[in-house]
Chains A and B, each alone.
Chain A
Amino acid sequence: MEKFGEIIRRFGYLLTRNRRRRELEAEMAFHREMADRAGRPEAKRTFGNSTHLQEQAREAWGWTWLDRLFQDLHYAARTLFRSPGFTITAILILAIGIGVNVTAFSLFNMALLQSLPVRDPDTLLRLQRRSLDGQIAGGMPYPTAIYFRDHAHTLSGILTTAEGKLELENDVEPLGASFISSNFFDDLGAVAAHGRLFSPPVDDAPNAHLVAVLGYHFWQTRFSADPNIVGRTILLNKQAVTVVGIASELFPGLKGGFTDIWIPITQQPRLVQGSKMLTDNDGGAVGVWARLAPGATAKSAEAELLGLTSQRRRLDPDHVWKDEYIHSDPGARVVTPQPRMLQIMAIFGSLTLLILAVACANLGGLLLARGVTREHELNIRLAIGASRLRIFRQLFTESLLLAVLGSAAGVGLSCLAFRIMTVLADTPKWMSSMPDWRVLCFASALALFSSVFFGFMPALQLASQKHRRTLARQLLVGGQVAASCVLLILSSLLVRAVLHGIYSSPGFGYEQVVSISPRLEDHDYKAPAAEALITRLATRLRSLPQVTSVALVKLPPLGGGVTRMDTKVDGRPLQVYPNWVSPEFFSTMQIPILLGRNFTPGDKKVVIVSQAMARRQWPGENPLGKIYWDKDVVIGVAGNAHINAMNDGDAVEIYAPAQTEDMPSMSVVFRTQGVPDGLELTCKSIVQALDPKLFPQISLLKTNFHTAMRSVEILVSILSGVGILAVLLAAVGIVGLVAFTVSQRSKEIAIRFALGSSAKQALGAVLGQYCWPVLIGLAAGLALTAAFSNLMRFMLYGVSNLDPVSYAAAIALLVGILVAAALLPARRALKIDIARTLHQD
């Protein structure tokens, strides 16, 4: 209590500081007067410097540091203002270093931390099935969701969503549709831009009209923002559906990005004929979100759902996993976090921090160099009694002020970058490019961190007058070179990877291949019927004159569907990409069979493995006849073809012969003579002639290939830009340091010249001190990159993370830039006027 009163009084003193100072002054003056009057001449002496005594008394209030801080800030601002060239350079360097980090953090923040702008985001949960032995399913069967909705007391509502494809009018390209529970819009607080949104009693009735709500962006692009579309009917999968409304452009939905069209999930079976999505207890058909009831927490909901899951296990033991539980994540997020994603983010995060490190090392060098020009001023201040601590504090305050200014400029730059991105990339309107409190906190933390990083050592050295030592500068140079070496090698690796991806064969032919996914399982096809239909489809395709070969495959190349299995073969862990194919697959995709034989019809319990898999699993042995996992015999080895994991150089494939029970989920791929363009319509009509309720997804592999490449190209151009930025920063730093060294030692150079030294010798003597740091920095950078770059293997498109070409190119570029940066200011040294320099001082 007493302590509390003291704190309150202390703050009171802060607010009334000026009045109290005057009071104290008057009081002490009175004291002196009284002492005088008492005729004690020694009083004057003991009283001493009255200003100093007052300061001492005021120190008891505990606010002197604040006064000093203001003094320091004021002085720092004046100093910086007096040398605008230095200040602007420093702020710019920091703005780049901090801006890159703030931008990266903003993206992270947007994806993982920020809530989507929906009603009450904090009580919205995303539910996922998990089991103690590591099984994870993104969605759950619709009946399970309904069971939870009807029985859970900790939840006030359940939202279900499912993504699907629908044919709009007669378009070849199917439309992405979101099937949602009809409480979706109301629960998330969405408003309609035109018309109405869904209402459960009307739209869930068994005989309700088929209805749809259009996404704002889709309405603008496809229907030219025509408000009269509301109330009209459109054809979806050949059925008349009434457009009842347009969602507001500020409504984000739950999946991030754009949604073209929303349909009540209860109407899904009427549009996708034969679909068993609402009754099927297998697999994970729908994504499930839950709204917490008032007073309930995520923990209590998870506990209740665990109980409900056990109840379901008793009712339906086949469809509930052993040790299954329901895991909840915050629901109103653009992305639900996954381990792999966090790893990528950690890599990018450390790269951007490296840039900041380069920027800081750079600025540290500049500050040291500047210290020499301020020597005079500092000497005077020391001479009139300033303590070293006080000088250090003053210099550090200057750095802090710089860092704060740089950080503000960095946030500004990052905002600008976001604004440009939103304009270029056509992002949804609800995404905000304004920094929120997390971004601002992050930027302030960076400012503090970097001021310590770049300002601490120079301030210490200047205050203790050791700044003429070269060791500090050598350390800075070494650090900069090491950091930019890492950045440059990594970006050149990535550039190489993309070039490799684009210009080398991916291991399979894609230019003349078309894939057709009829998605029979969506329509509840049973295996024999599916086999009959697929066989007829293949026969019809073969009879086309352009078609040279036709094959069946479960996961079509570049089709977006990926299955990855973490298995153990002979005790060794292995990540394999399995696929199920027909014998013609290898010739259609132009994947060579290198060893052994192809599948023949009727093959069972056999597999063909890729060359990489054979090499990894049975190095130096004959893979044929080996047993893989579930007693499958290896009968052949195929060439490496990363058909579904193009960017993962470590991917290994394993192919199994497709059986009748795989047929409902099979796709067809065929190879054409000449370009396949324009065949999509023919394919579509062939499929629909076989069964009019089918709406196949048809794609040219080359289109998919180029789309996949383009996104990577953008990523890589950003990354290499970042690498170049780091190198330029380092170059600026080196220019500054060398220029400083030359000006500091101009007298020595002049003497050397006067004594007949050649230009080369003189420069060597001056610049020799940087030689070792650069070499050590290069070596450290190389070692660091070699050690950590295997973390990035999965995005290197098969290029080795120790690829010598990338390393050599990066080092050559770096050394070139460093030499140029060093020679540019050094040339000035050669032009000095010997006589004048020697006569100075």
Chain B
Amino acid sequence: MLILRVLHSGPLHGYAIAQRIHVLSSEVLEVEEGSLYPALQKILLKGWASAEWGISETNRKVRFYRLTPAGQKQLEAELSDYDRVTQAIQSVLRTA
């Protein structure tokens, strides 16, 4: 979900995705490189993102991931799921 959300603002390459999550989470979340790439492969396979070759800021040929409409839908579904669950947890925490 995090990866999809980060890609929502525009195509990124693998390292940039990890960086963005790291920065946006105020350096709390660190995406393990060992779980980032399997997840990316899975996202490609599910068709939630497409990959294209581009040039990185260091002038290297690298793969950029772009969210597809199907990925967009998936992201929305996951976000609303997530909202529901967090709200539920919150209300339990408040009342109990």
Chain B interface mostly? helix
Indicate if the CB atoms of A46 and B32 lie closer than 8 Å.
yes
Q: Contact between A2 and B37 (Cβ–Cβ < 8 Å)?
A: no
Residue-wise interface mask of A (32-59) relative to B, using a CB-CB cutoff of 8 A (1 in contact, 0 not): 1111011000010011100001101111
Which residue of chain A lies nearest to B46 when distances are taken between CB atoms in the complex? Answer: A6
If A6-B45, A61-B41 touch, does A30 touch B15 (CB 8 Å cutoff)? yes
Contact A57 B62 (CB under 8 A): no
Cα-based distance from A53 to B36 in the complex (angstroms): 10
Nearest chain A CB to B17 CB, angstrom units = 10
From A23, A34, A35, A56, contact of B63 by CB (8 A): A23
Q: How far is the CA of A346 from the CA of B15 in the complex (A)?
A: 66
Which one of B14, B33, B39 contacts A43 once the chains associate, using CB atoms below 8 Å?
B33
Q: Are B41 and A57 in contact (CB under 8 A)?
A: yes
Report which residue of B13, B15, B32, B47 has the largest number of chain A beta carbons within 10 angstroms of its beta carbon: B15
| B38 in complex: contacting residue of A9, A37, A38, A59, CB < 8 Å | A59
Q: Which residues of B contact A61 (CB under 8 A)?
A: 41, 45
Query: From residue 13 to 56 of chain B, which have CB atoms closer than 8 A to chain A?
Result: 13-15, 18-19, 32-34, 37-42, 44-47, 56
Is A10 engaged at the interface, CB distance under 8 Å to the other chain? yes
User: Is B18 touching A6 in the complex (CB atoms < 8 A)?
Assistant: no
Q: Is B34 a contact partner of A46 (Cβ separation < 8 A)? A: yes
Residues of B within 8 A of A779 (CB): none
Are A27 and B41 touching (Cβ within 8 A)? Answer: no
Instruction: Tell me the bound Cα distance from A48 to B38 in angstroms.
Output: 15
Contact of B34 among A5, A10, A33, A53 (CB under 8 A): A53
Chain A neighbourhood of B70, CB < 8 A: 2
A61 CB to closest chain B CB, in angstroms?
6
Q: Is B58 an interface residue (CB 8 A)?
A: yes
| CB–CB B37/A24 < 8 A | yes
CB pair A60 B62 closer than 8 Å: no
Known: A34-B15, A35-B15. A28 touches B62 (CB 8 A): no
A5 — which chain B residues lie within 8 A by C-beta?
47
A34 partner residues in chain B, CB cutoff 8 A: 15, 58
Residues of B within 8 A of A38 (CB): 19
Cβ-based interface call for B94 (8 A):
no
A59 to B39, CA, bound (A): 10
Q: B58 contacts which chain A residues (CB < 8 A)?
A: 33-34, 37
Interface centre among B33, B46, B62 (most CB of A within 10 A): B33
Given A23-B63, A35-B15, verify A28-B46 contact (CB < 8 Å): no
B87 to chain A, nearest CB (A): 28
Interface of A is mostly: helix
Given known pairs A31-B14, A35-B15, A53-B37, the reply for A60 and B42 (CB within 8 Å) is yes
B45 engages A28 (CB within 8 Å): no
| Residue numbers in B under 8 Å from A23 (CB-CB) | 63
> Is A794 positioned at the interface, with any CB of B under 8 Å from its CB?
no
For A37, the chain B residues whose CB sits under 8 A away are 58
* Known A-B contacts A2-B70, A34-B58; A28 and B37 likewise in contact (beta carbons under 8 Å): yes
Q: For A5, A27, A47, which residue has the most chain B Cβ atoms within 10 angstroms?
A: A27
Residue of A nearest to B37 (CB): A57
B45 contact from A9, A31, A43, A56, Cβ within 8 A: A9
Q: Provide the bound-state CA to CA distance between A300 and B52, in Å.
A: 60
Q: Which of A10, A13, A30, A62 contacts B56 (CB 8 A)?
A: A30
For A60, give its contact among B14, B32, B41, B56 (CB under 8 Å): B41
Contacts of A6 in B (CB 8 A): 45-47
Closest to A57 in B: B37
Residues of B within 8 Å of A27, CB to CB, are: 13-14, 37, 62-63
- Report A66 CB to chain B, min CB distance, Å: 15
CB-contacts of A191-206 with B (<8 A): none
Residue of A nearest to B33 (CB): A47
A623 smallest CB distance to B (angstroms): 84
Interface residues on B, range: 20 to 34
| Inter-subunit contact A53/B45 (CB<8 Å) | no
CA distance A120 to B89 in the complex (A): 71
**Residues of chain B lying within 8 A (CB to CB) of residue A30:** 13-15, 56, 60, 62
Contacts of A43 in B (CB 8 A): 33
Question: What is the distance, in angstroms, from B33's C-beta to the closest C-beta of chain A?
Answer: 5
Cβ of A57: which chain B residues have Cβ within 8 Å of it? 37-38, 40-41
List the A side residues contacting B15 at CB < 8 Å: 30-31, 34-35
Cβ distance A10 to chain B, nearest Cβ, rounded Å: 6
CB distance from B32 to the nearest CB of A (A): 6
Residues of chain B with a CB closer than 8 A to A2's CB: 46-47, 70
Q: Does the CB pair B41–A47 fall under 8 Å? A: no
B18 / chain A contacts, CB cutoff of 8 Å: 31
Contact B33 A10 (CB under 8 A): no
Please report the C-alpha to C-alpha distance between residue A62 and residue B38 in the assembled complex, in whole angstroms: 11
Interface residues of B in 47-96 (CB under 8 A from A): 47, 56, 58, 60, 62-63, 70
Across the interface, do A56 and B37 meet the contact criterion of CB distance under 8 Å?
yes
Question: Which residues does chain B contribute within 8 Å of A47, judged by CB atoms?
Answer: 33-34
Report how far A358 CA is from B75 CA in the complex, Å. Answer: 59
| A6-B62 Cα distance, complex, nearest whole Å | 24
B33 and A46 form a contact (CB under 8 A) = yes
B27 to chain A, nearest CB (A): 12
The residue of chain A having its C-beta at the shortest distance from the C-beta of B42 within the complex is: A60
Q: Which residues of A contact B33 (CB under 8 A)?
A: 28, 31-32, 35, 43, 46-47, 53
**Closest Cβ–Cβ distance, residue B12 to chain A (whole Å):** 12
Residue of A nearest to B56 (CB): A30
Min CB distance B39 to A, Å, is 8
Of chain A, the residue at the smallest CB distance from B51 is A23
Cα separation A57 to B18 with both chains bound (whole Å): 15
Least Cβ distance of A353 to chain B in Å? Answer: 44
Residues of A near B40 (CB, < 8 A) are 57
Q: List the A residue with the shortest CB-CB distance to B17.
A: A31
**Bound-complex Cα distance A214 to B41 (A):** 72
Residues of chain A contacted by B13 (CB below 8 angstroms): 27, 30
Residues of B within 8 A of A54 (CB): 37
With beta carbons under 8 angstroms apart, the residue of B38, B45, B60 that contacts A10 is B45
Within 8 A of B (CB), among A710-734: none
Look across to chain A and name the residue whose beta carbon is closest to the beta carbon of B16.
A34
* B-side contacts of A32, CB under 8 Å: 33
CB-defined contacts of B32 to chain A, threshold 8 Å: 46
Interface centre among B13, B19, B32, B38, by most A CB within 10 Å? B38
Q: Complex: how many Å from CA A24 to CA B38?
A: 10
For A60, give the chain B residue with the smallest CB separation: B41
Q: In the complex, A37 Cα to B59 Cα: how many Å? A: 14
Which residues in A have their C-beta under 8 angstroms from that of B38?
56-57, 59-60
CA of A34 to CA of B42, assembled, Å? 23
CB-based contact B63/A58 at 8 Å: no
Interface string of A1-23 (1 = CB under 8 A from B): 01001100110010000000001
Which residues in A have some Cβ–Cβ distance to B below 8 Å? 2, 5-6, 9-10, 13, 23-24, 26-28, 30-35, 37-38, 43, 46-48, 53-54, 56-62
- List the interface of chain B (C-beta within 8 A of A): 13-15, 18-19, 32-34, 37-42, 44-47, 56, 58, 60, 62-63, 70
15 residue pairs A–B, Cβ–Cβ below 8 Å: A6-B46, A9-B45, A13-B45, A30-B14, A34-B15, A34-B58, A37-B58, A38-B19, A46-B32, A46-B34, A47-B34, A53-B33, A58-B41, A61-B41, A62-B45
Given contacts A30-B15, A53-B37, list 20 more A-B pairs with CB under 8 A: A5-B47, A6-B46, A6-B47, A10-B45, A13-B45, A26-B62, A30-B14, A30-B62, A33-B58, A34-B58, A37-B58, A38-B19, A47-B33, A47-B34, A53-B34, A54-B37, A57-B37, A57-B40, A61-B45, A62-B45
The 5 closest A-B pairs by CB, nearest first: A60-B41, A57-B37, A60-B42, A34-B15, A31-B15
